[in-house]
Chain A
Amino acid sequence: MRTTVPCTKCGSQLPGELFNTGNLITCPQCGARLQLEVFPAFFKPLEVGQTGDRVMVEVESSCFYHPQKKAVVPCEACGRFLCALCDVELDGKHLCPACLESGKKKKTIHSLEDMRMLYNRQALVLAVLPLFITGLAAIYVAARYWKAPTSLVRPMRWAMPVALVLGTLQTLVFVIVIIAAVRS
């Protein structure tokens, strides 16, 4: 169990007496002024992972991945029986490692997503840039990624239709200008 917090300047360990004072305290080593807010989880010991019990009776259902271990819960995505070792709890759901992996790969589990491409913003920037090729590129990006997920925090759902309209207008204007130039 940890009882000290490192100073963010010098790295020296700050004792419990300095926690949650509500004011800036001084690091005894480097003199930095700090406010340490520590929450109850800090004093909680790290949870030890479970390894799963062995199947004792033949009629007991066993884990899909470890046939010698007792099943404790079914995976909520695929229904396979899981032992305590294979059971991964995420957002209150019990999942197996395979479903977790596929969920991360297919980006169907939002809480595992660590990066998103913002195609709607890319399309909008391309549509606004005054070059012939960018108008076409904006149309392509908007059409290709129309249903792609947007930002988690700022969806900007209007950006894709606006990009499509601006990209089309830009392309049309350039086509008209080129035709006019060729005729003249």
Chain B
Amino acid sequence: MANAAPPYRRLSGTGYHYLVPPWALVLLFFVMGIFVLLFRGRRTQLWLGPEHLLLVETDGYREYYKRFNYRDIQAFIIRKTPQGKAVNVLLATIAALLIFFAIVVADPVGGGVLGGIGAFCGLLLLINALRGPTCHCRLHTAVQGVDLPSLTRVRLARNVLGKIRPPIEQVQGRAGFEPLVGPTAARPDPVRETPGPTAS
């Protein structure tokens, strides 16, 4: 009855099931410093298996698994979120202010330090902008909907979707890219079809 462990291929993206909201983590960082990482929660990753998609959550000493058989996956939803844009605005503001003060301040050492920090913020802004818009992903089966915290960018989510689509289509058949219209959506509305009273 013992099965050999199936081989898995890792899909890009790592995320965390946060124990506290990310904005609270930023505030806690000023209180706890590096120990704020203790509140980061479980790290999640997606792995592509021969018959199922595996969601792995780990806290370092244990691993938790959720399997989604390719034949059971019904929908994959990507929702663009404004977090990436908000971070960009915040970093741009900080970088602009620091560089402004670096230019204004008379002290060359102080100006250099401020300019350096400003440039670092600018670099973070560039990296964040290049990674593209942020997103929230959700996978639906007949009995549950599961968030996928490892897919945090739209580009990454589409890339992963492109990798999981072939095995799903191999099992379920091809859905096509044309807009799918469900049986009831395709059916004409009976209320509208009913002819109204004719004016005589």
Contact = CB atoms under 8 A, between A and B. Distances in A.
B196 to A, nearest CB: 25
Nearest to A38: B75
Contacts of A39: 73-76, 168-169, 172, 175
A153 B150 CA distance: 16
A152 B74 contact: no
Given A5-B75, A116-B63, A37 B161 contact: yes
Contact of A4 (B54, B78, B165, B182): B182
Interface stretch (A50-58, A104-112, A161-169, A173-181): A104-112
A111 B3 contact: yes
Nearest to A21: B179
Q: How many B residues touch the partner, as a band?
A: 35 or more
B33 interface: no
B47 interface: yes
Contacts, number: 155
B75 A152 contact: no
A117 B58 CA distance: 10
Interface stretch (A41-49, A61-69, A80-88, A131-139): A41-49
- 3 tightest A-B contacts by CB? A3-B182, A16-B182, A16-B185
Interface of B: 1-3, 5-6, 8, 10, 45, 47, 51-52, 54, 56, 58, 60-67, 71-80, 136, 138, 140, 142, 145, 154, 158, 161, 165, 168-169, 172-186
Given A1-B183, A39-B169, A77-B1, 5 more contacts: A3-B183, A8-B136, A35-B154, A111-B3, A153-B56
Interface of A: 1-9, 15-22, 24, 32-43, 46, 76-77, 91, 99, 103, 108-111, 113-118, 121-122, 125, 149, 151-153
